[in-house]
Amino acid sequence: MEITLFSVMTLGFLLGIRHAMEPDHVIAVSTIASQSKKLSHASLAGIYWGIGHTATLFIIGIILIMMKNDISAKWSLSLEFLVGIMLVYLGTTSILSFKKDRKHSHHIHLDHSEESGLSTIQVNKNVPYLKSLIIGLIHGLAGSAAMVLLTMSTVNSVWQGGLYILVFGAGTITGMLLFTTIIGIPFVLSMKQMVTSRVLIMTTGCISILFGIYYMYNLGFNEGLFKQWI
């Protein structure tokens, strides 16, 4: 029994790592990593995302497992639709914040360049870890239905279900930590090259917006979400 449980938990950890690499997760966190001035900031953004994601999965998962119930397809798709809205929002704010930072740093450079010798790119802002946490929470809501189905088909009791979700979450945090660290490298290296940095941030923002629109269209029309609500 112990060997079987260990095997299940190991599988859950590996599935968690794979889960972190799903396109909507990757694109969402990339918009955060693109604004990181240090590699450690990008890594922490991934960790906070994973914590938020795991917290939502655990809370909702345990409740549904104890109730021996599941989320209806209508509400499951609706929660997924929130992810599409969030991706469009993240892409838009990423582009707008970059333009705002660029304008602000340009004024600072004009006013203080002779006194301090600082380049415009050295004007830093705190990485929005709270935003990463909220993104993870929303993704956790969207993935709760699938998580409960997977957990209920894998384990035999509530405590095993809770443990499985936590192990799965640990794998997700690990996967997202690795990804944001790797994806953060080109953004951090490009900070001193304004043109390259601008291209990377704008590209990431546009991808997030376009994928978010596609995501919502697919759920609304191809998956039939709009018909279920009408």
Q: pLDDT digit string (tens) for 107-123? A: 444 444 444 443 433 43
Of all residues in the chain, the percent with pLDDT exceeding 90 is 51
Residue 103 has a pLDDT of 56
**Residue 3 pLDDT:** 58
pLDDT digits (tens, 9 = 90+) for 7-62: 989 999 999 999 999 999 999 999 988 878 889 989 999 999 999 999 999 999 89
* Mean pLDDT for the chain overall: 84
Q: What is the pLDDT of residue 215?
A: 96
Flag whether pLDDT at 64 surpasses 70. yes
pTM of the model: 0.83
The residue-averaged pLDDT of 171-189 equals 93
Give the pLDDT band (50/70/90) at residue 204: very high
Q: What mean pLDDT do residues 55-79 have?
A: 88
DSSP assignment string, the chain:
-HHHHHHHHHHHHHHHHHHHTSHHHHHHHHHHHTT-SSHHHHHHHHHHHHHHHHHHHHHHHHHHHHHT----HHHHHHHHHHHHHHHHHHHHHHHHHHHHHHHHHHHHHHHHHHHH---GGG------HHHHHHHHHHHHHHHHHHHHHHHHTT-SSHHHHHHHHHHHHHHHHHHHHHHHHHHHHHHHHGGG-HHHHHHHHHHHHHHHHHHHHHHHHIIIIIS-HHHHH-
**Percent with pLDDT over 70 in the chain:** 85
Q: Tell me, what's the pLDDT at 117? A: 42
Is the pLDDT at 182 greater than 90? The verdict is: yes
pLDDT band, very low/low/confident/very high, at 195 (cuts 50, 70, 90): confident
